[in-house]
Chains A and B, each alone.
Chain A
């Protein structure tokens, strides 16, 4: 069993370890030393170059701002939508639900050109809004929240209504605290989604000053200047926030995924 464990650890963790040590090799040694599993010399030089020669810090801040905005907006929209669909009965509710699910099946590539034209028309090209607003309310996110909200006890909500609580108070003080695991799950999934998203920001932004990390790193390895050392350093730093976020919230994620039984992607 121990042997299996070691094998799995090597297969799954080694590439990450290798990325980190590659980024720490002294300048010009990244390829020469490729076989040195335990590096003989370490240097932060690549990281210094990353910040001095490339606008890495700007990309990093862009990524954090855009990801934060995207995730908060998306989670808010999915939570309200999911709650309304799960806990209120109204005419055309099922039709609405189906319309939402169907919109998930529209391939994004079909929308891309129209969305791009729309963004230009709305004056949102080259802006953060342009990058995050069109992606914000994910149908699958609404579905996920709805599944979770279904499990909230109706009695509890009705009791609050009898006591004279407004719908706003109920949503804020009862529904939100009860849905905390689902909200945490969705929040981190949305964060990772945007943090790693390449296609849409690549379309919206032309100016390197506005790039989020993924687009910036892509520039480092494009055909013309394959700067692997910078890429490895940039990638290592870009992975750190995701890993931190994940390890803090991993129990809630597992819980959220297991309860709703959906693999949100």
Chain B
């Protein structure tokens, strides 16, 4: 009886609110088709996919694709490169926007503030292809800007783009250059919500500028900073495929081959497209990423009492 009444109730509600369901259905269907359905397709990681048999008909091979990756000579360098590049980016990119926001927040002159903001986030809008093109030209060993500068000083021109040792630094610091201003927007927004009365009281008590930053601004930023840190850890293994791929050359491949580029090459670029193998590696990456998020979230909660969940 009850369930019957419930059901007719539900239908009544759907009939009355059909417009709501239309609003909701469109994005929902999209998410199911293009985000969740491909997850089902990820089962080919456990199969030996061949187009002739299709997704569900290809033979089941269990963990063979994963084993193949573990045993491949590429496994170690690819994992190490991914982790080093990710964490280097994360660590270098985390504090600088906070410092920028804290110092901008101290500036009273409005014009100065907004101009600095505009200047610093301009690079965010330049595409990766353009950035990498600029890097190549800047650092060209014969005729780039660095080479010309070195010549001027009577030094040997460095070949940074061809130097495997320099790849990581170039990658990370050009990224910091590009994203600092944009990331600082959020911190500035948070700082603007801090009650000015706190600062006034601190000034009356004789607190110096640095002390006010240390004891008022930074604690105010911390919750947001932690949430952003955890969220960017979730993306840590997603490190820009495009930028790495564009910066790669046979010279720096030893340090620049990361999971994303490797997946792309074995799955979609090589003459023998190995869909199963590349999906297996992608799946592995997803799992590692999830573990990292949980770990960082845990650490953030233990250390600062702030976390995403």
Contacts and interface: CB of A to CB of B under 8 A. Distances in A.
A242 B128 CA distance: 13
B122 A32 contact: no
B57 interface: no
A137 B189 CA distance: 27
Interface string B106-129: 010100100110111011011111
Contacts of A19: 130, 134
Nearest to B283: A110
B27 interface: yes
Contacts of A114: 37-42, 44, 55, 279
B30 A77 contact: yes
A192 B125 contact: yes
A118 interface: yes
B contact patch SS: helix
A111 B42 contact: yes
A136 B24 CA distance: 15
Interface string B122-160: 110111111011101110101111011100100000000
Given A106-B35, A254-B185, A142 B286 contact: no
B138 to A, nearest CB: 7
A22 B31 CA distance: 44
Nearest to B117: A254
A44 interface: no
Contacts of B128: 196, 198, 214
Interface of A: 1, 5, 8-9, 11-13, 15-16, 18-19, 22, 30-32, 34-35, 76-78, 80-81, 83-85, 88, 90, 96, 99-100, 103, 105-118, 133-137, 139, 142, 166-168, 171, 192, 195-196, 198-199, 203, 213-214, 217-218, 221, 223, 226, 228, 231-232, 235, 238-239, 242-243, 246, 250, 254, 257-258, 261-263
16 contacts: A12-B122, A15-B123, A16-B126, A31-B142, A34-B140, A81-B24, A99-B31, A114-B37, A118-B38, A136-B34, A167-B17, A217-B130, A228-B137, A263-B183, A263-B186, A263-B228
Given A137-B34, A196-B126, A261-B186, 4 more contacts: A31-B143, A114-B41, A114-B55, A198-B128
Q: What 4 A-B pairs come out closest when comparing CB atoms?
A: A114-B41, A31-B143, A81-B27, A196-B127
